[in-house]
Structure 1
């Protein structure tokens, strides 16, 4: 049964006859699908939801672990930097101490060498001076011996011998 009010002249119209339009069959099919699919699709969706929640929890756990590892690594890095800075400062201090010690030893060695050279110079001057005195004495003796025979006559020679004997007697 079609209602003439709502029916149009030909192409479009609203049919309100329940038996003719199969509304009851459609309602039963939709209700059945809803009731059956609710359990099926609900289970699938619940399992999917649980899987997503588990993955989110796992991701949060990994994030927390990574954050803890990052914090620990940053602390280790800061500690390593502090130790490296301390080592660098200690190294500079040791290098400075070694340099100062080396300079001190160099100055001491130079002073010792200077003193050794002065003492060597003094001993060389003394040796040369003694050698010059000896040579001068030898030359004076040679000259005296060379000129002595011409200047010495028998009387002078006798006086010289007497004088040498007296000098030996007093000693």
Structure 2
């Protein structure tokens, strides 16, 4: 390992290599560390995320099935209402002379109420689907964030030793002192 480090360090002294060298500054290499952490998160988080999405998909499909059953019930109610409408129409023919306008109003009210019920059920189904999708997306986001945070903290804790931790704190305190002097 020392030979590899020495070869990187010695690259900076070659005239054809330009300004290439081995960077030992931990703050300058944070993008590399973050890309490694993100790569690990993506690699290990895929399965968990896939399982979460599959579970949410099943819940959404169950909700859709329930909504479809509700729709079927509404269609049955519509068919019953249509049968009742046919019956009302037959009665209307018998009582046309006595109460044609009253029967017509009842027919329109029946049709309107049936269509309103169907519309309400369709709206309920659509709202339920959208709500479940949003809830699934929010839960997945929250779990991915928690897992990313746990992995990042684990990586950070495993990389920091007491000496490095104290040096980092000292450097930050010095930066705050310089910032305070600049603002004063």
Please state which band the TM-score falls in when normalised by the shorter chain.
Answer: 0.3 to 0.5
Question: What TM-score do you get using the length of structure 2 for normalisation?
Answer: 0.35
**Which has the higher Rg, Structure 1 or Structure 2?**
1
